[in-house]
């Protein structure tokens, strides 16, 4: 089974952010899901993105 990966561009679209924001947060140690390098390419695992979003979700009042 092949693992789903996000590029910075697709992650930005998924989160509703600018692609440059993803790069800035990654290089500046900002708040993002865990990333890894695939050669020279920056990638994010879909499972890590979903877990990160779940941890960010605010409980309903």
Domain range for 39 is 5-56
Taking only the tens place, the pLDDT of each residue in 42-59 is 999 999 999 999 998 877
Distance between CA atoms of residues 35 and 27, nearest Å: 11
Distance between CA atoms of residues 33 and 47, nearest Å: 10
| Residues 10-24, mean pLDDT to the nearest whole number | 97
Taking only the tens place, the pLDDT of each residue in 19-44 is 999 999 999 988 999 999 999 999 99
Identify whether 34 is part of a domain.
yes
| Total tally of structural domains belonging to the chain | 1
Identify whether 31 is part of a domain.
yes
- Torsions phi, psi for 18 (to 5 deg): -75, 145
What pTM does this model have?
0.86
CA distances to 1, 12, 13 from 20, in Å: 31, 8, 11
Identify whether 61 is part of a domain.
no
More confident residue, 7 or 29: 7
């Amino acid at each position: 089974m092949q693992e789903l990966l996000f590029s910075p561009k697709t992650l930005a679209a998924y989160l509703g952010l600018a692609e440059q924001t993803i790069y800035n947060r990654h290089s500046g140690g900002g708040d993002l899901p865990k990333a890894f390098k695939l050669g020279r390419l920056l990638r994010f695992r879909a499972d890590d993105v979903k877990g990160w979003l779940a941890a960010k979700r605010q409980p309903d009042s």
